[in-house]
Every structure is written in C-alpha cells, then in structure tokens.
Amino acid sequence: MSISATLVKELREKTGAGFMDCKAALQETGGDAEKAVDYLRKKGLSAASKRAGKEASEGVVGSYIHMGGKIGVLVEINCETDFVARTDNFQDLVSDLAMQIAAASPLYVHREDVPEAHLTKEREIYKAQAEESGKPEKIIDRIVDGKIDKYLEQVCLEEQEFIKESGVKVADHVKSVSAKLGENIKIRRFARFEVSEDKEEISS
C-alpha cells in the first residue's frame, strides 16, 4: 500500500526511528500508526524505547494556576540531563501537562498505579450492570474489559487524550517529545488542588 510522507514523519517524531524503518513498519501494519510503534519496538528500532531504560534523574517541577486561583497544579517531569530540562520543548511539555492535569483531573500517572482492589471493585460494578441489562454471559467479560479500559483512560494521566491534539494519548505525546529531544522523559508525580475540595489529589 502507499504510505504518505506525513504519516512516516509523524512516526519518526514519535519513535526516533529511521525513515525507511518507519515506512517499512507502516507498510507491514497496513498504515496503523499504533501497531507500527509496537512493530518498531519489537524490532528494537525505536530510539524512544531504547532510551526507556536510561535513568531520568533531572527535570523540573512545573506549576499551573487556573480560574483565578481556584485550581492549582504541581507536576514533576524528569529527563536525563539538566541541559534538556532547560530547553523550550521540555518546558512546553511541563506546562502542557500541568494544564492537562488541571483540565482533566486524573487520579494516577500510569495504569499500573491504580490499586488492584480499586479495579476489582470497578469490575464487580461493571459486571453487575452487564448482568442486570441482560447481556449474554459469554460476552460479559469482554464488556467489562472494555469498560475498564475506558475507565483507565479517564483516571490515568498517561492514558488520557492530550488536550492539545485530538486522538493522541498523553503517553504518546511524551514519547514524541522524548524522541525529539533524544532523552528519556518520565512523568514522575503530580498534585492537583481545587478550592472547596476536601483534599488534594496526589499521584506518584
């Protein structure tokens, strides 16, 4: 199939892999960008995936205040060197993520951070809802899995849709910036405060 140069460029920015490798990955996966990312990672061709094991011990704590002081956010984003932490691209990322947290109210950074007991409770609720609605037993587990995925997309920062780019997850945007800057970048933790709430939301 024909692969557009724009699609190849987007994949290169996301993974840091070479032009021909990105084109081959897209051809192999029928133009599916997400599958192409996985393809490159499995082949060991994604520069972003190679950097993932490198220690990200530098970085900055960014802040954002919204609605005349009604909502405030602190977020720590890590990278490998202080040099990259001072770049405009990195600072823009920190600022964007702080605004993301203010707007989308995530509870956790990664899906792995969600307590298993919490997920078990959600599964039980979704299963009961499916049974109550008369869904066939053989598809209930699949329905529950789908609802859990949607729930994680709401409460986990990395799983949320990036507020500045429709259809792109926060985790993928971070990978794109990581590939552009040539360093491993990680969202370490955040705290979101809102006036009148009983307590702040803190995740790490």
* Helical H segments across the chain, by residue range: 5-15, 19-28, 33-42, 47-51, 82-85, 88-104, 116-132, 137-155, 170-181
Output the pLDDT for position 191. Answer: 96
Residue by residue, pLDDT tens for the chain (204 residues) are 678 878 887 887 777 677 777 888 888 888 888 888 888 877 665 655 555 556 677 999 999 998 788 999 999 999 999 999 999 999 999 999 999 999 999 999 998 899 999 889 998 999 888 888 888 888 888 898 899 999 999 999 999 999 999 999 999 999 999 989 988 899 999 999 998 755 445 565
Tell me which CATH code domain 58-110+156-203 carries.
Answer: 3.30.479.20
Output the pLDDT for position 52. Answer: 57
Q: Do the two domains 5-51 and 58-110+156-203 of this chain adopt the same fold?
A: no
Spelled out in words, what is the top-level CATH class assigned to the domain 115-154? mainly alpha
* Type of residue at 44: G
Q: Which of 204, 9, 3, 173 is nearest to 107 (CA)?
A: 204
Residue 165 half-sphere exposure toward CB, CA atoms < 13 A = 12
Question: What is the model's pTM?
Answer: 0.68
Tell me which CATH code domain 5-51 carries.
Answer: 1.10.8.10
* Annotated domain spans of the chain: 5-51, 58-110+156-203, 115-154
